Amino acid sequence: MRFALNGLIILLRKERNFRIMGIVSVIVVIVGYSLDYFGEHLNRFEWAILWCAMGLVFVSEGLNTALETTIDVIHPEQNPMIGRAKDMAAGATLAASFVAIIVGIYIFGPHVMSILGN
């Protein structure tokens, strides 16, 4: 557990994208709870899906960072195949982010439309 917490601390301190994802996740949670003010609320299932989507992005970024760091230590020289592997890992993180955005639109969209009266 100590090593895992240390890994999270390193991600938060050293990885700008991980911090950005954290900020976006906090905003998502605030917006989710703010819906109550407008007479809308997220049900337990919607919250669960949002947390899973946010978790997917955090996990993929953490794995991407671990892979890139390991590769840089093992093979610091430029190599086209290593570049491809790093690009694919980054692409997986980007795909996870797109999925999270789609999930957010799918969940928040109907609530926002209801608030706007459409």
pLDDT digits (tens, 9 = 90+) for 60-116: 999 999 999 999 999 989 899 999 999 999 999 999 999 999 999 999 999 999 999
pLDDT digits (tens, 9 = 90+) for 26-70: 999 999 999 999 989 999 999 999 999 999 999 999 999 999 999
What is the pLDDT, as a whole number, of residue 87?
96
What is the pLDDT, as a whole number, of residue 117?
86
For residue 14, is pLDDT > 80? Answer: yes
- Residue closest to 61 by CA, chosen among 11, 14, 9, 6: 11
For residue 118, is pLDDT > 70? Answer: no
Query: Model pTM?
Result: 0.88
Domain ranges of the chain: 2-116
CA–CA separation, 63 vs 71, rounded Å? 12
Residue 39 gets the label, from left (phi > 0), alpha (psi -120 to 50) or beta, of left
Name the residue with tokens 């991980």.
Answer: 18
Q: DSSP string spanning 1-45?
A: -HHHHHHHHHHHHH-HHHHHHHHHHHHHHHHHHHGGGGT----HH
Top-tier CATH class for 2-116? mainly alpha
Contacts 24+ apart (CB under 8 A), 3-8: 7/62
What is the pLDDT, as a whole number, of residue 90?
96
